[in-house]
Amino acid sequence: LRHTLGSVYNDLGEYEKADAMHRKALELRQRVLSSEHPDVGRSLFYLGSTDGMLPSPEREALLRRALTIQLKVPNVDGNDLADTYQELSSALRAQGRFVDAENIARQSLAIRKSVLRIDHPRVANTMIALAQALGHQGRVAEAEVIHREVLGVFRKLLAADHPNVAKSLTNLGQALRDQSKFPEAETAFREALELNRKIFGNSHPTVNHAASELASVIMSQERWSEAETAYRELVSVTGNREDPDM
C-alpha cells in the first residue's frame, strides 16, 4: 500500500511525499525480510525511481542493488527487470554517462522485445530512453529514426490527441532541429503545440514549452517577424521576457 501511495504521489509531482512512502516501505521490509528477498528488491526499485529527489549516484546505487536481487530470482518477470534497467539508464544519463546509459537502455529494450509485442507502449517508452542516450552523444540521426518509430507506434495505439503523441512530436522536432532540419522540425513543433493546447489549454507549462520550441525554430530560419510574433504571444501568456531558446 505504501508503494502504491508513493507511486501516486510521484505521478502527482509530490516527490517528497513519494520518497517518504517508499523509504518507509523499504525500512519495514528490511526489518522482516532478508536483504536478498525479491520484495526488498522491489522497494529499492521504487525508491530509486522516485523523480526529483535523490542525487543520481544514489539512485544508481539503489537501482543496481535492486537489479542484483532481481537477477537472482528464478523466472523473474521480464517487464520488472526491464523497468529497472530503464530507470538505471535514466540515472546514468543524468550523470552524463551517456554511453553507459545507452548500453543499459539497449539491455532494457532487448528484454522488453522478448516479452512484449514490438508495438507495445512499454517498448516504445524504452526506445525513447535509448534515443535520449544517443541524442546526448550527438548521434541525433539515429535518435531521429527511433523517435519516428515511437511516434508511429503511439499514433497507431493511442488517441490522436494523447499527450504521448504530443511528446513524441516534440522529441522528433528536437532531433530534427539538432540536425538543422528546420522546416521539418517546425512541422513537428507546430503539431505538438496544437495538440498540447487541445490537451492542456493555453497557459500550461507544457504549452509554453511547445510555443518556445516553435518560436526558436522559426528564428533559426531567419523569419524574424514571425519569430517575434510567436515570442510576443509566449510572453503575453507567461510574463517571462527572457527566453533562453531565443
Is the Cα torsion angle 84, 90, 94, 95 positive or negative in sign?
Answer: positive
pLDDT level of residue 243 (50, 70, 90 thresholds): very low
Amino acid at 98: F
Q: For residue 29, what are the contacts with CB-CB under 8 A and spacing of at least 6? A: 37, 39, 40, 43
Is the pLDDT reported for residue 205 higher than 70?
A: yes
User: What average pLDDT does range 30-40 have in this prediction?
Assistant: 94
Least confident piece of the model among 135-139, 230-234, 238-242: 238-242
Residue-wise pLDDT tens digits, 219-232: 999 999 998 888 88
User: What average pLDDT does range 144-169 have in this prediction?
Assistant: 96
Between these two residues, 52 and 90, which has the higher pLDDT value?
Answer: 90
Alpha-carbon gap, residue 31 to 26, rounded angstroms: 9
Q: What is the pLDDT of residue 127?
A: 98
Between these two residues, 234 and 67, which has the higher pLDDT value?
Answer: 67
Instruction: Say whether pTM exceeds 0.95.
Output: no
User: What average pLDDT does range 199-204 have in this prediction?
Assistant: 88
Residue-wise pLDDT tens digits, 93-103: 999 999 999 99
Is the pLDDT reported for residue 70 higher than 80?
A: yes
Is the pLDDT reported for residue 242 higher than 60?
A: no
Asked whether 29 and 43 are in contact (CB, 8 A), the reply is yes
